[in-house]
Homo-oligomer: A and B are copies of this chain.
Amino acid sequence: MLDERKLDILRAIVTDYVSSQEPVGSQTLVKRHNLKVSPATVRNDMAVLEEEGYIIQPHTSAGRIPTDKGYRLFVDRLEQVKPLSLAERRAISTFMAGAVDLDDMVARTVRLLAQITRQVAIVQYPVLSKARLRHLEIVRVAGDRGILILVNSSGRLDQRPIDIAGMDDQDLSDLRTKLSTAVVGSTPGQAIDLLTAVLDELPARLRAQGAVVITVLLELLAGDPSTRIVVGGVPNLTRFADQFETTVKPVLEALEEQMVLLRLLGEAKNGGDVTVRIGHENPYEPLQSTSVVASIYSSDTDALAKLGIVGPTRMDYPSTIAAVQAVARYVGRYLAEG
C-alpha cells in the first residue's frame, strides 16, 4: 500500500511543512529533497497519501499539509530521534546543577524544558510513594494555632494548620513524640495504617485533640500531593500568534486548570519512553490542533511524576521528543543522587 518512496515523501512533507509553515507542493518537494523522480510522480503518490488520509489540501490547487494521522505515522515509523548536541547536554547539566531544593529544582526544570523546546513546559511535582517519613513536628504558631509539619526522605516538606486549643506545651510535646515514633521511618502508605492504632495509645487527656490532629495527618498522607504542577515558557506561544484561536487561546486556558494539565500528562506510559499525543488524540477537546509530548521521570525504580510540553501539532517532533526525553532522564538522575 505505502511503499518506501511514499513514506519518504510523507516524511519530506512533514519536515518541510514544519519548518516552512506553508503547504508544500510537488515541485518544491523534489527540489529540496533532491528526489530521484519527477514532480508528476510525486503528485501521484501524494494523491494516494491523501486518499489514505495522511495529508490534505487546504484547498484545491494548493500544496499538501500533514493530517494528525500523517504526523502519527511520522512519529511512529519515520522519524529518528535527534540526539541532542553536546552544547545542549552541557546546558542541561549546568542548569540543573545549581538547584538548592526541591522547589528550585522543579522551577529550573520547567525553565530548562521551555528553553530548549521553545514550547510551553509543564512539570509535575515529584510524588515519592516510596519515600520514607523522616520527621514529624508540631509547632505552636500563636495561641490556638499550630502547624503540623512532615518531612520525607526526598526533602519534601508538607504542612497543614491545626487547631491546638487547650493543649499546653507538654501536651504538644507528648503528642508529637507519640506520633513521631509511630510514623517516622515508614512510607506514607504504611503510616496511614499505623496511625489508626496510635489513637488508642494516647493518654485519655489527649484523645480529643489527638483525634483531630491525626485526622489532619491522615488527610495529608492520603491526599495526592502530585496535584502541584508548574508551568513555564508561556511566552513561546507568541510565536504562534497567527493561530491564536486554535493554539494560543486553548493552551492558555488549559494551563490555568490543574486538572486539565494532569489529564494531558496523564497517560504517559511507564515504559520510560516519551508519549506523544497529537491533535484529536488529546483527552481535552479544545486542544485539537496542539500536541503534547510527555514523559515520566523517575529515580531508580520508583515512578515519580511526569513532565512534558504543549505545542502546535505542527512542531519539530524529533527534536522535541529528544529534549523531553533528555530532560526527564537528567531530572530523574538528579533526584536519585539528591
- Cβ of A234 within 8 Å of any chain B Cβ, yes or no, is yes
Chain B residues near A137 (CB, 8 Å)?
A: 135, 137, 149
Residue of B nearest to A241 (CB): B244
A83 at the interface (CB under 8 A from B): no
Question: Interface size on A (CB < 8 Å)?
Answer: 37
CB 8 Å contact bits of A109-137 with B (1 = contact, 0 = none): 00000000000000000000000001101
Q: Pick out which of these stretches binds chain B: A38-46, A248-256, A272-280, A311-319.
A: A248-256
Q: Which of A155-163, A196-204, A261-269 contacts B (4 or more CB under 8 A)?
A: A155-163
Among listed A21-29, A138-146, A205-213, interface-contacting one: A138-146
Question: Which residues of the other chain, B, contact A235 by a CB distance below 8 angstroms?
Answer: 249, 252-253, 255-256
Q: Is the beta-carbon distance between A101 and B134 smaller than 8 angstroms?
A: no
> In the complex, A155→B149 CA distance in Å?
11
A101 CA to B141 CA, complexed, in Å: 12
**Nearest-CB distance from A249 to chain B (Å)?**
4
Nearest CB of chain B from residue A231's CB, rounded to whole Å: 9
Taking CB atoms, residues of chain B closer than 8 Å to A338 are 141-142, 145
- Tell me, in angstroms, the Cα distance from A152 to B152 when the chains sit together: 21
Write the nearest CB–CB distance from A327 to chain B, whole angstroms: 18
Q: Is A238 an interface residue (CB 8 A)?
A: yes
Q: Is A147 an interface residue (CB 8 A)?
A: yes
CB nearest neighbor in B for A254: B235
Copy tally for this chain in the complex stands at 2
Say if the beta carbon of A332 comes within 8 Å of chain B. Answer: no
Write the nearest CB–CB distance from A89 to chain B, whole angstroms.
24
Q: Is A57 an interface residue (CB 8 A)?
A: no
Contact yes or no, A159 B160, CB < 8 A: no
Query: In the complex, which residues 232-250 of chain A have their Cβ closer than 8 Å to any Cβ of chain B?
Result: 232-235, 237-238, 241, 244-245, 248-249
Is A100's beta carbon under 8 Å from chain B? Answer: yes
5 additional contacts, CB 8 Å, given A139-B151, A241-B245? A147-B151, A149-B149, A149-B157, A238-B252, A241-B244
The 6 closest A-B pairs by CB, nearest first: A135-B139, A238-B249, A235-B252, A235-B253, A139-B151, A241-B244
Q: Which residues of A contact B (CB under 8 A)?
A: 100-101, 134-135, 137, 139-142, 145, 147, 149, 151-155, 157, 159-161, 232-235, 237-238, 241, 244-245, 248-249, 252-253, 255-256, 338
12 pairs of residues in contact across A and B, judged by CB atoms under 8 Å: A101-B160, A135-B137, A135-B139, A137-B137, A137-B149, A145-B155, A149-B157, A234-B252, A235-B252, A235-B256, A238-B248, A248-B248
